[in-house]
Amino acid sequence: MPVGFLQDSRAWIEVDEGAITHNTRLLRQRIGPNVKLMAVVKANGYGHGDGTTAKAARAGGADAFAVASLAEAVGLRHQGLQEPILVLGHLSRSDEVHACLRWHVLPTVSTMDQARLFHTVASRLGACLPVHVNLDTGMARLGVPWQEGAALIQAILRLDGLQVEGVYSHLAAADAVDPSLTKQQQQRFDRVLAALANGQPAGLCRHLANSAATITDSGLHYDMVRVGLALYGHAPAEHLEGILPLQPAMAVRARVTILKTVPAGTGISYDHRYHTKRPSRLAVVAIGYADGVPRLLSSRMGVLHQGQWLPQVGSITMDQLVIDATDHPRLHTGAVVTVLGNDETASISPRQWGQACGTIPWDILCGFSSRLPRLQAVHSAQHGSQPTIS
Q: Do 226 and 282 belong to one domain?
A: no
Task: With a cut of 80, say whether residue 386 has pLDDT above it.
Answer: no
The one-letter code for the residue type at 294 is P
Q: Are 231 and 214 in contact, with CB atoms under 8 Å apart?
A: no
Collapsed DSSP state (helix, strand, coil) of residue 282: strand
Residue 302 exposure: Cα atoms within 13 Å on the Cβ side: 18
Distances (CA, A) of 356 to 312, 351, 359, 360: 13, 8, 8, 10
Whether 57 maps to a domain, the answer reads: yes
Whether 319 maps to a domain, the answer reads: yes
Question: What is the mean predicted confidence (pLDDT) over 174-186?
Answer: 96
Cα end-to-end span (Å), the chain:
43
pLDDT band at 329 (very low <50, low <70, confident <90, very high): very high
Asked which of 198, 232, 266 is the last residue of a domain, the reply is 232
Q: Do 332 and 185 belong to one domain?
A: no
Task: With a cut of 80, say whether residue 366 has pLDDT above it.
Answer: yes
Tell me the per-residue pLDDT of 140-169, one tens digit each, with 9 for 90 and over. 999 999 999 999 999 999 999 999 999 999
pLDDT band at 2 (very low <50, low <70, confident <90, very high): very low
Tell me the per-residue pLDDT of 244-281, one tens digit each, with 9 for 90 and over. 999 999 999 999 999 999 999 999 999 999 999 999 99
d(CA 265, CA 302): 20
Q: Do 228 and 153 belong to one domain?
A: yes
DSSP letter assigned to residue 377: P
d(CA 388, CA 390): 6
Q: Are 176 and 183 in contact, with CB atoms under 8 Å apart?
A: no
Domain containing residue 257: CATH number: 2.40.37.10
pLDDT band at 4 (very low <50, low <70, confident <90, very high): low
Q: Which domain holds residue 255?
A: 250-376
Q: Do 103 and 71 belong to one domain?
A: yes
More confident position, 1 or 113: 113
Q: Are 335 and 281 in contact, with CB atoms under 8 Å apart?
A: no
What is the model's pTM? 0.93
Pairing label, strands 144-145, 129-136:
parallel
| Stretch (H or E) spanning 355 | helix 350-357
Q: Where are the alpha helices (DSSP H) in 244-295?
A: none
pLDDT at 309: 97
More confident position, 79 or 385: 79
Whether 243 maps to a domain, the answer reads: no
The one-letter code for the residue type at 275 is H
- Binding residues for substrate are 141, 318
DSSP letter assigned to residue 328: -
d(CA 252, CA 83): 30
> Residue 233: CB partners within 8 Å, gap ≥ 6?
19, 20, 23, 246, 247, 248, 249, 250
Q: Do 80 and 129 belong to one domain?
A: yes
d(CA 11, CA 8): 6
Domains held by the chain: number: 2
Question: In the predicted model, what is the mean pLDDT of the chain?
Answer: 95
Q: Do 223 and 309 belong to one domain?
A: no
| Stretch (H or E) spanning 188 | helix 180-196
Q: In this structure, what are the phi and psi dihedrals at residue 18, rounded to the nearest 5 degrees?
A: -65, -35
Active site residues: 42, 270
